[in-house]
């Protein structure tokens, strides 16, 4: 007998200026050192970095022109978001696993509110997959467990960025 499987997606439903202070007790908080700019880890982006490395929407507001030298995954997150804190170490691990093949960037929506607005980020975590050719794909939320979330990212990276 086949048993249906339900995979739940979790995200912070609050707006990017919200707070989720109560969830710190429920989730291991990602170490700030995990978010440093590391040649083999995730890379923090500011608006200026985004305009130079991903897309200059000020010069080309009507057309997507990817500027990167390899495909990328961009994590729109906030420190107060519990699912974002779950995602952070997974993305660090995947940045090392896919080193040289893709870049994994992080954008703090609290500090870079204009970038969040440009991409219509309503809930976080949100992820922008930017292939070398074609249009980017946006997704949001994480799966029910860290293992399922890790596999979700691997599938998306393989299907959207490395096919």
Mean pLDDT across the chain: 82
Residue 61 confidence (pLDDT) = 87
Residue 13 confidence (pLDDT) = 54
Residue 4 confidence (pLDDT) = 32
Catalytic residue among 12, 72, 81, 130: 81
- Per-residue pLDDT band at 11 (split at 50, 70, 90): low
Q: Which domains, and CATH codes, for the chain? A: 44-161 (3.40.30.10)
pLDDT in tens, 71-125: 999 999 999 999 999 999 999 999 999 999 999 999 999 999 999 999 999 999 9
Catalytic residue among 12, 72, 84, 130: 84
In the residue annotation, 130 being an active-site residue is answered as no
In the residue annotation, 84 being an active-site residue is answered as yes
Residue 104 confidence (pLDDT) = 98
DSSP structure string for 114-133: HHHHHTT--SBSEEEEE-SS
């Amino acid at each position: 007998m086949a048993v249906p499987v339900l995979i739940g997606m979790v995200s912070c439903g609050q707006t990017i200026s919200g707070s989720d202070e109560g969830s710190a007790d429920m989730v291991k908080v990602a170490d700030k050192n995990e978010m440093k700019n590391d040649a083999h880890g995730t890379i923090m982006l500011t608006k200026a970095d985004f305009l130079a490395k991903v897309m200059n929407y000020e010069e080309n507001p009507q057309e997507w022109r990817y500027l990167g030298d390899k495909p990328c995954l961009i994590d729109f997150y906030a420190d107060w978001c519990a699912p974002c804190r779950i995602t952070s170490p997974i993305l660090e691990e995947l940045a090392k696993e896919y080193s040289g093949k893709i870049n994994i960037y992080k954008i703090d929506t609290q500090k870079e509110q204009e970038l969040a607005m440009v991409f219509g980020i309503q809930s976080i975590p949100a992820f922008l997959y930017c292939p070398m050719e074609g249009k980017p794909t946006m997704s949001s939320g994480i799966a029910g467990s860290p293992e399922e979330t890790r596999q979700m990212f691997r599938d998306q990276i393989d299907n959207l960025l490395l096919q």
